[in-house]
Chains A and B, each alone.
Chain A
Amino acid sequence: MQLIPCPWCGPREEAEFHYGGQAHVAYPEDPSALSDEEWAQYVFFRENPSGPFAERWSHSAGCRRWFNAVRDTRTHDLLAVYRVGEPMPEVTA
Chain B
Amino acid sequence: MTVSPLAAWTDRLAALAPALDVTEVPFRSQLTVRVSDPDAIAAMGDALGVRFPAVPCTFSAGTGEFGAVEVLWLGPDEFLVTASPDLQVTIEEVLRGALQDVRGSVVDTSAQRTTVVLQGPRARDVLAHGCSVDLHPASAPRGTCVQTLLARTGIVLQVNDDGYTILVRSSFAEYFAAWLADAATEYLAVP
Contact = CB atoms under 8 A, between A and B. Distances in A.
A–B: direct contact at CB < 8 Å? yes
A63 B78 contact: yes
Nearest to A3: B132
Contacts of A13: 132, 149
Contact of B149 (A9, A15, A63, A65): A15
A10 B144 CA distance: 13
Contact of A8 (B56, B132, B133, B149): B56
A9 B154 contact: no
A76 B22 CA distance: 40
A91 interface: no
A50 B147 CA distance: 34
The number of chain A residues touching the other chain, given as a range, is: 10 to 19
Nearest to B132: A13
Contacts of B148: 12, 16, 61-62
B76 A8 contact: yes
A43 interface: no
Interface residues of B, number: 13
A61 B149 contact: yes
B133 A65 contact: no
Contacts of B56: 8-10, 63
Nearest to B77: A65
A62 B149 CA distance: 8
B75 A65 contact: yes
B132 A63 contact: no
Interface in A38-66: 61-65
B41 interface: no
A49 to B, nearest CB: 30
Interface in B167-190: none
B135 to A, nearest CB: 14
Interface of A: 1, 8-10, 12-13, 15-16, 61-65
11 contacts: A8-B57, A8-B76, A10-B57, A12-B132, A61-B147, A61-B149, A62-B146, A62-B147, A63-B56, A63-B75, A63-B147
What 10 A-B pairs have minimum CB-CB distances, sorted nearest first? A63-B75, A13-B132, A62-B147, A8-B56, A61-B154, A61-B149, A9-B57, A8-B76, A64-B75, A65-B75
